Structure 1
Amino acid sequence: MARTQGSHSQITGPRVREAALHLFAKHGFAAVSMRQIAREVGVQAGALYNYTPDKQALLFSLMKGHMDELLTDWRALPEGGSALERLERFVRFHIGFHLPRPESVFVSYMELRNLSPENFAVIEGLRRDYEDSLEAILRAGLDDRLFDVPDPKIATLAVIAMLTGVTTWYRPDGRLSEDEVSDQYWAMVRKSVGA
C-alpha cells in the first residue's frame, strides 16, 4: 500500500507510538484497535504495519522504551555517597523522571497483563534491574545502620509504589511545584526506612 501523502517515516513512526500510548492510557490496550491508532495518526490502517508488526509489538515497544530510558537515565547519575544520599538521589530521580510521563507510567503498570509471556519476561527483567538498584541502597543502609527496615525487598516495592503513585494526582498547575512534591516525598521515604 502506498504511503499517505505527506507521511514520512521519521515523523510518522513517532506519531504512531505517541498515538498508541495516548489511546492505550485512555481506553486500555484491549479496547484500542489498529484502526483507531491509524485514525489518530491520520494514516490508513495498513500503513501502520510499516512501523510495527502488530499491536502486541507496539505495546512491548512502548513499555521497553520507557524502561530502557529509565535505566539509562538512572545509570547516568553519579553513584557515590552514603546510602542516605543515594536513597535521596533515587527518590528525586524517580519523581523527576516519572512526573512528565503519566501516560507511559500508567501503560507500563496497567498493561503488563496484556504482554505475551516472552515480552512480559523482558519487561519484568528490566523492572527487576531498577528495583535491584534501590534494594542495594536499602541493604547498604541497613549494613551501615542508617536504615531500619525488616525486609529490604518489601521496602523496595513499597517505596517504588509510593513514588510512582505521584503521577496519578500531580498536576503541573497545582498548588505544589515538582520540587515541593519531591521534598515531601523524600521526607516520607526517609521516615519509612527509619532514617
Structure 2
Amino acid sequence: MARTQGSHSEITGPRIRAVALELFATHGFAAVSMRQIAREVGVQAGALYNYTPDKQDLLFTLMKGHMDDLLDAYDNRARPDDIVARLKDFVAFHIAFHLERPQAVFISYMELRNLTPENFAVIEELRRGYEHRLETILSEGRASGVFDVPDTKIATLAVIAMLTGVTTWYRPKGRLSVAELQEVYWQMVRKSVSA
C-alpha cells in the first residue's frame, strides 16, 4: 500500500509541493531526497511518484507555478494609464507579491542551475515575459520624455533585482510596513529613472 492511511490525493499533491518548497528553500535542491519529502508529507517514498515523475519535475513545477502565478496576478488587475503611475504600480505590485512568497522567490533564483536545459528554457522565457512588462513601461516613458533611461534592458534588470532583494531582509515585525517599504522603494526607482 503506497498511501499512508488517512491521506487523500486532493490533499497529498499540494502537500508534496508545499513540503518540497520548504525543504528546497531550507536545505537546497541537491541536499533533499525524495525519501525526505515523503517522510515529511507522511507517505511512503513510492507514493510520491503518483504525483511527480522525479525531483527535477517537482522543482520545475514549483518554479513554473511561481512564474505563472506572478504573470497571472500582474496581468489580471487594473493598471493606471499614466506612465509614471504605471511604474509606481509595478514597484508596489512586485514588492507585495514577492514578500508573500519568500521561499518561492529564493528557489526561483538559487535553484535555476539545477534545472535541465529544457526546463531552464521554459522558466527563462517566463522570466523574460515578466521583465518585458517592466521594460515596456520604461521604453514608453523614455519615448515620451518622462524617463531618462540610457538602456531600458539594463534598467529593467536593475530595478527587478533591487525590488526582489527585499525578500532577503524584510521582516513583517520590523520598523516599516509593506506600504512604507513600497513608498521608499518607489522613491529610489523614480530617482533612478529620473521620473
TM-score normalized by the length of structure 1: 0.98
Cα RMSD for the two superposed structures: 0.8
Match of 1:72 in 2: 72
Match of 1:173 in 2: 173
1:27 equivalenced with 2:27 (yes/no): yes
Following superposition, which runs of at least 4 residues in structure 1 exceed 4 angstroms of deviation? none
Q: Can you list the C-alpha shifts for 1:1-54, whole angstroms capped at 9, x where unaligned?
A: 432101101111111000100010011101110011111111111111111100
Match of 1:103 in 2: 103
| Separation (CA, whole Å) in 2 of partners of 1:160 and 1:49 | 36
Match of 2:119 in 1: 119
Aligned length: 195
Contact 2:2 2:44 survives alignment (8 Å): no
Matched ranges for 1:52-63 at <5 A = 52-63=52-63
In structure 2, do the counterparts of structure 1 residues 184 and 21 end up closer, same or farther at CA, with 3 Å as the change threshold?
A: same
| Separation (CA, whole Å) in 2 of partners of 1:51 and 1:175 | 42
Match of 2:147 in 1: 147
Gaps of 5+ in 1: none
TM-score normalized by the length of structure 2: 0.98
Query: Deviation at 1:79?
Result: 3.9
Gaps of 5+ in 2: none
| Separation (CA, whole Å) in 1 of partners of 2:177 and 2:23 | 28
Match of 2:81 in 1: 81
Match of 1:131 in 2: 131
Contact 2:87 2:137 survives alignment (8 Å): yes
Contact 2:2 2:46 survives alignment (8 Å): no
| Separation (CA, whole Å) in 1 of partners of 2:68 and 2:56 | 18
| Separation (CA, whole Å) in 1 of partners of 2:37 and 2:171 | 26
Q: Can you list the C-alpha shifts for 1:47-66, whole angstroms capped at 9, x where unaligned?
A: 11111100000000000000
SS at match of 1:131: helix
Match of 1:182 in 2: 182
| Separation (CA, whole Å) in 1 of partners of 2:165 and 2:68 | 20
